[in-house]
Structure 1
């Protein structure tokens, strides 16, 4: 009998883990269109910022308790602030289906990405309900998995590299490509489709909402493009990405913010530096594209790198899981977005409790 009960309990737990989180309904139905920010990228957009414990250098708890930072995420009773004006939804492709990994009001819960800083700034600045819609998965390159529609084949060092919908990644010039079970842009297609699924059922993800506007896109990606071929095309691919996202979401005037890669901080070199420079090249204030003035902003994340001795662990490709890095990147992205939207930036240190 005990064995049967144990089996039933484990089965119920497994079903609960697979089921999409229900939408909580603690806030009143919004009277204005929900301002949607679509967040895209790879694993650092997903987030590896460590929350605790407080004794460990570089965790969020440590930074709040020992260094007096980011107190806007703590209530006076020590509990985490829950923003009932900023909704956070995270979806990810799982086989042939969409997995829902978060559907809740923005708060601190497990490892985090730039959404905590970004949501705090944007939520304080906008007089409208906000939805942070994160649709991404780790270990994906812009030059292959996330390649946007309209991207063409190109030649690099005797290899032909895939254009959108081509397969495989590359093949020797003069040979016939042999397709594999993946194609250039497959992750782009999945991430965009999943975000649209959420928006098509908006009240399921933002309780009481009946309308929305795509206010902006947030991009943090680049680790997997640190190779000669992909780095050489990163700027061109990024320009195409911005244009195609606006087209595919029917939001030609939506703002676009991105953070550079920053592995090693100012020591970033080689193909990594090439990718970061390509990311800065699309900045509308000082980049190469006049048409992006006032609607595209790139923030240099290298100053936010923290060394291993100040961090929870030695994991450079995830910024050593340092909460300060993830929070500062998010805050900087939020400020850049708010400035482009023409809203007033919240005062330094201002917090909702």
Structure 2
């Protein structure tokens, strides 16, 4: 009996040591790194940041061509888009990426475009950065249709009257960041880091010659002013080209505005912290799309997804450069 008690005591002691070892191993920073602060990305612009990419495959809209549903069913896109669909066949809902878009907020999935049946660049962007980052991600999307940089988003450094939508943009960012908990009850108070700013806009400036001519300077002022107001002097910025009509675009103002967007990222002061994303390759013609609405990328969801994905990849590159 005594021998049995001794063996039992030894077993308990060994189990205690083993349990303690497991806890030490689990708590080891090398094996279980502590998650850092919330990574916050601001996505802003006009109607093509709002987003008009059609999600459902509607036979009445060009037999469903160009819809998000058709894209994920395309064998050529299957490997690239498999993470967009959950195992039950529904659209994936990302626990690790939250989105705030005015009265809509929650976990990233489809339906954060101009309607709940549409997507914008936030969809591809959120999936791309969410796949790459270990930290929780928050997208703050602030966009309105039909807005110019020269007037509506006019930054303070450009002189004249500050654009009312520039002011609203700053107000919305501060409001969300000032009370994250009320918008996202899952937030555990670990703090946040402004990680990047994505911009997709241009139509309302390219249709006005004076606005077009001032675009490069206004965009540069916008970047500087946003960084100053948000107290983030090196905030990575990604500018997505307003490349509607693709490589077939011939209008002088359209070509001039796209050159201006690219030129901003080429300025010495913005090397390594501002990126330009060409989008003309993502254009899909009317016969491959739900509509012929050229200024909204023909409502092609593949286009909007690829724009967001490219913006996300460019953002990750800027973030990596900043860390090196």
**TM score, norm. by length of structure 2:** 0.81
Aligned residue in 1 for 2:284: 306
Q: Retained in 2: the 8 A contact 1:135–1:192?
A: no
| 1:145 Cα deviation from its structure 2 partner | 0.4
1:19-98 alignment, distance < 5 Å: 31-53=35-57, 55=59, 56-69=64-77, 70-91=81-102
- State the SS of the aligned residue for 2:118: coil
Question: Is 1:241 paired with 2:222?
Answer: yes
Using the alignment, how far apart are the partners of 2:279 and 2:130 within structure 1? 22
Q: Retained in 1: the 8 A contact 2:121–2:305?
A: yes
Using the alignment, how far apart are the partners of 1:76 and 1:66 within structure 2? 17
| 1:89 Cα deviation from its structure 2 partner | 0.7
| 1:64 Cα deviation from its structure 2 partner | 1.3
> CA-to-partner distance for each residue in 1:222-248, whole Å, 9 max, x for gaps?
000011100000000000010011111
Gapped runs of 5+ residues in structure 1?
A: 1-29, 92-99, 153-162, 166-183, 344-353
> CA-to-partner distance for each residue in 1:39-92, whole Å, 9 max, x for gaps?
11001101101101264100000111244522221123211111100001112x
Using the alignment, how far apart are the partners of 2:205 and 2:149 within structure 1? 7
* Number of equivalences: 272
> CA-to-partner distance for each residue in 1:131-169, whole Å, 9 max, x for gaps?
0100121110001100001212xxxxxxxxxx2x2xxxx
Aligned-residue RMSD, C-alpha? 1.5
Using the alignment, how far apart are the partners of 1:200 and 1:31 within structure 2? 21
| 1:266 Cα deviation from its structure 2 partner | 1.0
- State the SS of the aligned residue for 1:342: helix
Using the alignment, how far apart are the partners of 1:240 and 1:328 within structure 2? 28
Aligned residue in 2 for 1:139: 146
Aligned residue in 2 for 1:281: 263
Pick one of 232, 236, 242 that aligns with 1:261. Answer: 242
Q: Retained in 1: the 8 A contact 2:157–2:222?
A: no
1:194-343 alignment, distance < 5 Å: 194-206=172-184, 207-210=186-189, 211-226=191-206, 227-268=208-249, 269-283=251-265, 287=266, 289-342=267-320
Aligned residue in 1 for 2:28: none
1:113-128 alignment, distance < 5 Å: 113-128=120-135
Structure of higher CA gyration radius? 2
> CA-to-partner distance for each residue in 1:199-253, whole Å, 9 max, x for gaps?
1111122322421111110000000001110000000000001001111111111
Q: Retained in 1: the 8 A contact 2:56–2:68?
A: yes
Using the alignment, how far apart are the partners of 1:88 and 1:73 within structure 2? 16
Using the alignment, how far apart are the partners of 1:242 and 1:144 within structure 2? 16
Gapped runs of 5+ residues in structure 2?
A: 1-33, 112-116
- State the SS of the aligned residue for 2:257: helix
> CA-to-partner distance for each residue in 1:289-313, whole Å, 9 max, x for gaps?
1121111000111111110000001
More helix as a share of residues: 2
Using the alignment, how far apart are the partners of 1:340 and 1:209 within structure 2? 27
